[in-house]
Chains A and B, each alone.
Chain A
């Protein structure tokens, strides 16, 4: 009796996994920032089109792009633009990366709620994250060491922050994160550490902001207005640290994949973008 049940269970498992691996499945992989968004899209989309199976996994933008290059996923989510090296490598393997901008994201700089510092300029941020400023005293805060938190190097957020804040968009820049910066493996880990450490500063996508941390207001330079990381400010371009989020495909979208991408870019898809705390592109 037990044996029959077991065999039955086993065969059900086998069949369902075989069905998932069949032609109707689309593998979406990459940026941890975009996982929640893509997951919501996938759930809603599969309600409409139950025949299609979408598998969404994270791992980081670099992870997604390298699986696109090695042919193990259909859509790579990336929170940074693909690098020339990666394009060259993809071409070698007969894959032509095709870029689609699917949403925008504001990067919030967050500190502990007890920290009296409320606003910073981009220049101050660069100096904090490169380790030049190491005490909150210099920024009008308490006499306390700054604990710099960053994402691991496989994160698109890490790369974006380095290129646009530390190097302020200068591709020849040599600025690096301070060697003493703690590299944490997820945005959630950064959020948790900020919540309990009064000296910490970190950054992550707007979607992760919660009542346990305090986002600081950011200004382009000392003369500009300090702006909060809100959806309106990202749409209007007033908030200085925002970035596009991409899907990368192998060649122009076709068939099932095109249908899914079109859904993401539709009014309904972009409403989901708003609901998951990102910023729509089609406005």
Chain B
């Protein structure tokens, strides 16, 4: 009787475990089925390297290079801002801050993660956008830079909390050994603890970037959504995610436009898959 119970519970848990994989596979198959249909009308290379995106013209021009570059530019900007600040913040929390400040900082960062992205987008639109416009004397403040700054806020909590975990799990003896050998606190952090936690920190960075690439709402509100080839971070850009969100409602089901949006979904899926696998590899390295 007990054995039977064990058996049933074991299988149930197995089923739950498989369910998530099953759903991912289903979603991916659906994306493929809907997305690949666009290549009946546009060659894959022309789709990815095409420079103009006029999906509702006749015939439609479906080139997503400006969108890919837009996404990458915003992500790169966000990474440049959030990684140094995020990692430094994690080091401070894990190694330097006294217990009290540590608690306050940690809950503050969790609070930052809890702000819905549409709210961040809205705040960015009324505060950051006019500010960017005036500081750089631009014709408009709806630029990739505004998006990057706002997204950096969104990536920060992920980076800080995972990097902090990684730093925390470095064995105490490393630090004590370094200090015993006469290293200063900073030398111990910089020469011993940071290298020891490096794979975990890389994973934190990757997951932060993954969050940024997939972000939609804030980006749609403050990057201007112009599908131009970006040549500066002070220009409006249109990202992959914003394109799907803005146009899916209109696309006639079964039209080239509709399929093209699913194909953009595949591109996004592939990008975030690569980023996540990267993060996983780093985490895996750490265990060995």
Contact = CB atoms under 8 A, between A and B. Distances in A.
Interface of A: 59-60, 62-63, 66, 69-70, 83, 85-86, 89, 144-147, 152-154, 159, 176, 179-185, 189, 192-193, 196-197, 199-200
Nearest to A179: B228
Interface string B213-256: 00000001100111110000000101000000011011111110
A147 to B, nearest CB: 5
Interface in B126-140: 130, 133, 139-140
Contact of A159 (B55, B56, B236): B56
B56 A153 contact: yes
B252 A182 contact: no
B142 interface: yes
A47 B109 CA distance: 49
Given A66-B250, A193-B140, 18 more contacts: A62-B249, A63-B249, A66-B249, A66-B252, A69-B253, A70-B253, A85-B255, A89-B254, A144-B139, A154-B246, A179-B228, A180-B226, A180-B228, A181-B226, A182-B142, A182-B226, A189-B221, A197-B133
Interface residues of B, number: 31
A86 B249 contact: no
B86 interface: no
Contacts of A185: 220-221, 225, 246
Given A66-B252, A85-B252, A179-B227, A152 B247 contact: yes
Q: What is the predominant secondary structure among interface residues of chain B facing chain A?
A: loop
Interface of B: 52-57, 66, 125, 130, 133, 139-140, 142, 220-221, 224-228, 236, 238, 246-247, 249-255
Contacts of A86: 252
A182 B236 contact: yes
Contacts of A83: 252
A89 B252 contact: yes
A153 B55 contact: yes
A16 B255 CA distance: 38
